[in-house]
Structure 1
Amino acid sequence: MDLDLAQVRAFVRAAEELHFGRAAGTLGISQQALSKRVARLECLLGTELFRRGGNGVHLTEAGQRFLSPARQTLAAADAAVAAAVGEHRPLRVDVWGHLYAPMRTLAQVAGRAGELTLGHGRDLPSVTAALLHGDIDAAFGRVHPPLPAKLTHRLVRLEPVDAVLSAAHPLAAEPALRPDQLRASVLWTPGELGRLDFLRQFAERFGIRAGTAGVNLGLAHFLAEVAQDPHRFSLLPADVPLPPVPGLRSVPLVDPTPLYAWSLLWRTGDTHPGLDGLTAACAAEAGPGRWLEYDPARDWLPEPSTDRRPPGDA
């Protein structure tokens, strides 16, 4: 019988995630489409590969036997495509932390980095999975542990962070703020604080005890929620263009200035020639753009996290 590689890929991803919704997200398709592909593969093989029930999705014995050779089949197919396309295939790059607009930095180096294919943006766990599966070649965002050992990352940019608050906030008229001046304010986050490494460490370091989370529906919606409450604030890298939200104020943070660390991430040992071009382009921009300036007496960088929970966007 002839296997449909799209169906095999859907099975492998679902087997790795044990969740059809998450698996579909990593492939950029709907959950319904993934379910149909798996069902057609099961029909072709004449056996169930997954046990579906109230306790989630689990591999059957047949699914467990099929998983390893299915991975080998996909690896061989990907290698065949790479051999045929050769060095002319564009470097596939994805991003995460999209609320902080990572494309700004890539746009500044894209002209010197060679041909790139840019992804739509995901969170860090999805990006690492895509890298390990070979769906993308590189990624760009803020890296923090835990990371798989098979991945390599390189610091590209340290960006100062501003406080963004309502124009009615008591501190809105200040020309600059120390982070500890925000202790009496409420940190507004685009998701559960425990999953947002940078914001969580900022709150712990500077004694921000009050916080509330919203739904991440994009930067304009997120900042509109900040503007409506005179007690709230959030953090944004200084160069992120603010949307035209009325009643919003951006104030630099000093003594110390928090820095948001942007990095490139790729599979260890990846030989795609576009990786050298992208890293060289970032290095060339770092000097004149002062991207890597850091003074421990003036700036603050979060410590590497020891939290074993899955990392989020920020």
Structure 2
Amino acid sequence: MELDLAQVRAFVAVAGTRHFGHAAAELSLTQQALSKRVARLEELLGVRLLERGHGTVTLSPAGEGFLEPARRALAAADAAVTAARSAESPLRVDVWGHLYDPARTVSEVVGGGPPVDLGRARDLPAVLSALLRGEVDAGFGRVHRTGVARQDALARRVVRLEPVDAVLGAAHPLADAAQLRPDDLRGSRLLFPAAADRLEFLRCFADRFGIEDRAEGVNLGAGHLLDRLRADPAAFTLFPADARLPDVPGVRSVPLADPTPLYAWSLVWDEQARHPRLGALLQRLAEAGRARRWLEYDPARDWLPPDDAAALPPDNKGTSPIREHRGHEGR
């Protein structure tokens, strides 16, 4: 009997989540495709593995017996794939959060270093799921809690803390300020460049600084977002200070301070399937962080969402030198 590992992986995902919809999202499949894979596996084995009720999924006795050997088979297959990869193969790194230009940080450190094959993923859950399936070697972007099962099995390192600017249309009452405090924005409308559930940093900022007026949108790129700002004199959004923005007249970027919000960029990977070249990339990111002061953080001066602050190494949780802020001048 030849088992199809894709079908086995589908069963293990459902067994882990006890929910077809959640398992389908974890594997980036439609629920219909996932159900077909499980049904074909049950047909091949000649037994029912899952008991399906009204909104519930439980393991049958056969499913209970099959689950752990199935997990070991998948782990062995993943280990075989890892072992077969040459140490000379490029490091596959998927980035997400494209509006904030995550690739620029990785691109700054890969020249002359390990070969890296950069890919673009839809969002963080897609990257986490790809990592757990062994389809990519690492991900780069902002990491936060998601509904992806086994996220805690992945390793994470914060590699850059980037100051955040307020971006406003020229008609906004605060647009001519040389610098703003986050509290100054309390009466303004925060524009979300996409659905709010995909922009956890903006939600944390709004909750922390009392921004009650929030407007979601569709991510049609930075140009579309800036056009929305120009058309709404009460609106603002947030942007990492060194991210590239289109040169759009009538839009200004104003540094934030007291406290300075920081956007935490992280590398995430599966330590159990560690690519031979990952260590070299981590080393180059650490060297760049020291040379360019990417990891300066003083809780008396800066603001991070609590989960980001908790993810910092111990030596990054105290006082650091005064940062030279580099914002977008005169947009």
The equivalent of 1:104 in structure 2 is 104
The alignment's TM-score, normalised by the length of structure 1, stands at: 0.79
- Please, which of 175, 191, 197 is the counterpart of residue 195 of structure 2? 191
Q: 1:120-269 to 2 correspondence within 5 Å?
A: 120-144=120-144, 149-189=152-192, 190-192=194-196, 196-243=199-246, 247-268=250-271
The equivalent of 1:93 in structure 2 is 93
> Contact conserved, 2:82 with 2:273, CA < 8 A, in 1?
no
> Contact conserved, 2:264 with 2:308, CA < 8 A, in 1?
no
Q: 1:74-89 to 2 correspondence within 5 Å?
A: 74-89=74-89
- SS of the residue aligned with 1:87? coil
Structure 1 runs, 4 residues or longer, greater than 6 Å off: none
- Taking only aligned residues, the RMSD between alpha carbons, in angstroms, comes to 3.4
How far, CA to CA, are the matches of 1:205 and 1:102 in structure 2?
24
> Contact conserved, 1:197 with 1:305, CA < 8 A, in 2?
no
> Contact conserved, 2:28 with 2:129, CA < 8 A, in 1?
no
> Contact conserved, 2:94 with 2:140, CA < 8 A, in 1?
yes
Per-residue Cα deviation, 1:86-141 (whole angstroms, up to 9, x for no partner): 42443332334344222221122233441334343254445445444544332222
Q: Could you say if the C-alpha distance between residues 132 and 27 of structure 1 is closer, same or farther in structure 2, counting changes exceeding 3 Å?
A: closer
Q: Which moved more, 1:200-209 or 1:156-165?
A: 200-209
Q: Which moved more, 1:39-48 or 1:173-182?
A: 39-48
Q: How big is the shift at 1:185? A: 0.4
> Contact conserved, 1:113 with 1:274, CA < 8 A, in 2?
no
Gaps of 5+ in 1: 307-314
> Contact conserved, 1:162 with 1:235, CA < 8 A, in 2?
yes
Q: How big is the shift at 1:39? A: 3.4
Q: Could you say if the C-alpha distance between residues 141 and 86 of structure 1 is closer, same or farther in structure 2, counting changes exceeding 3 Å?
A: same
Q: Which moved more, 1:112-121 or 1:250-259?
A: 112-121
The equivalent of 2:38 in structure 1 is 38
The equivalent of 1:6 in structure 2 is 6
Q: Could you say if the C-alpha distance between residues 18 and 183 of structure 1 is closer, same or farther in structure 2, counting changes exceeding 3 Å?
A: same
- SS of the residue aligned with 1:265? strand
- Please, which of 273, 284, 295 is the counterpart of residue 276 of structure 2? 273
Of structures 1 and 2, the one scoring higher in RCO (CA 8 A, sep 6+) is 1
Q: How big is the shift at 1:157? A: 0.9
Q: Could you say if the C-alpha distance between residues 86 and 100 of structure 1 is closer, same or farther in structure 2, counting changes exceeding 3 Å?
A: same
Question: Which residue identity lines up with residue 170 of structure 2 in the other structure?
Answer: A
Question: Which residue identity lines up with residue 7 of structure 1 in the other structure?
Answer: Q
Equivalent residue pairs, number: 306
Per-residue Cα deviation, 1:235-265 (whole angstroms, up to 9, x for no partner): 1111222246665432222333211111222
Q: How big is the shift at 1:156? A: 1.0
Q: How big is the shift at 1:184? A: 0.7
- SS of the residue aligned with 2:7? helix
Q: Which moved more, 1:150-159 or 1:200-209?
A: 200-209
How far, CA to CA, are the matches of 1:166 and 1:72 in structure 2?
56
Q: Which moved more, 1:229-238 or 1:10-19?
A: 10-19
How far, CA to CA, are the matches of 1:61 and 1:247 in structure 2?
66
How far, CA to CA, are the matches of 2:91 and 2:35 in structure 1?
30
The alignment's TM-score, normalised by the length of structure 2, stands at: 0.76
> Contact conserved, 2:101 with 2:243, CA < 8 A, in 1?
yes
How far, CA to CA, are the matches of 2:284 and 2:103 in structure 1?
15
Q: Could you say if the C-alpha distance between residues 228 and 265 of structure 1 is closer, same or farther in structure 2, counting changes exceeding 3 Å?
A: same
How far, CA to CA, are the matches of 2:53 and 2:227 in structure 1?
41
Identity fraction in percent: 59
